[in-house]
């Protein structure tokens, strides 16, 4: 090692844990209409998510959770392994600036990948998981174009989930993958599925296609 080796910021966490990373960004709608039942279920779902991942020691080292809420857009949690992730208590208020949330989220993913590359950390294709119960109240066209580009270049996988009265037509225009509608308020089932899917991905080889379980929480 050269005496004056440059150590970039962030090298510590990768020196501490050099396992390949499987980043998962949650984009969660916290607009006013989510207040009450939906937000409570969502909060419990997040706790379930953390608890389930904790059962899988390999996932605890490989999965990284990022969390951005919108209404207003807030970075709640930058990418961290689940042991560092404290499930927040979200509140529903504000409008639905989905476009800004997606733009910010995609930038986070881009920067995280840069950090992986700079530190020689292998990574799986990032997952972006957006949950909303409404329609964007801001400009979302640009964000939608970015999502399409990213999916085309296999830069990430973008999943959209509509809750209750979500505008599925707009979600279809944003996500390349068919958006799914949450059956009732089955956030618990959704996060169980998400954690077990991430567990399977993190156990697979980087770049391998992993068959996912059917999402039992979605309705057609």
Q: What is the total residue count of the chain?
A: 220
Does residue number 100 form part of the binding site for another protein (CB under 8 A)?
yes
- CA pair distance 132, 71, nearest whole angstrom: 11
What x-and-dash track marks residues 67-96 binding another protein by CB under 8 A? -x----x-x--x------------------
Which stretches of 30-167 are assigned E, i.e. beta strand?
63-70, 74-80, 127-132, 157-162
Would you say 61 or 186 has its CB closer to another protein? 61
Task: With CA atoms as reference, report the closest residue to 203 among 24, 55, 63.
Answer: 63
Tell me the number of residues near another protein by CB under 8 A.
Answer: 48
What x-and-dash track marks residues 176-205 binding another protein by CB under 8 A? --------------------xx-xx--x-x
- CA pair distance 87, 51, nearest whole angstrom: 10
Backbone angles phi, psi at 152, to 5 degrees: -60, -40
- Tell me which residues touch another protein (CB under 8 A): 1, 5-9, 11-12, 14-20, 57-58, 61, 68, 73, 75, 78, 97, 99-101, 103-104, 107-108, 117-122, 138-139, 196-197, 199-200, 203, 205-208, 213
């Amino acid at each position: 090692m050269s005496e004056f080796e440059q150590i970039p910021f962030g090298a510590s966490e990768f020196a501490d844990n050099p396992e390949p990373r499987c980043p998962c960004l949650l984009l969660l709608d916290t607009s006013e209409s989510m207040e009450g039942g939906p937000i409570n279920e969502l909060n419990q779902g997040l706790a379930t998510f953390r608890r389930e991942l904790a059962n899988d020691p390999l996932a605890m080292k490989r999965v990284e959770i990022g969390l951005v809420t919108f209404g207003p857009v807030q970075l709640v949690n930058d990418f961290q392994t689940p042991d560092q992730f404290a499930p927040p208590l979200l509140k529903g208020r504000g409008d639905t600036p989905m476009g800004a949330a997606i733009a910010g989220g995609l930038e986070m993913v881009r920067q995280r990948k840069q950090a992986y590359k700079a530190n020689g950390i292998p990574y799986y294709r990032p997952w972006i998981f957006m949950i909303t119960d409404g329609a964007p109240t801001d400009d979302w066209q640009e964000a939608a174009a970015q999502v399409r580009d990213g999916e085309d270049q296999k830069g990430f996988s973008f999943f959209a989930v509509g809750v209750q009265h979500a505008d599925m037509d707009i979600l279809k225009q944003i996500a390349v993958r068919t958006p799914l509608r949450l059956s009732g308020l089955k956030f618990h089932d959704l996060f169980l599925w998400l954690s077990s899917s991430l567990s399977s991905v993190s156990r697979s080889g980087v770049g391998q296609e992993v068959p996912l379980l059917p999402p039992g929480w979605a309705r057609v």
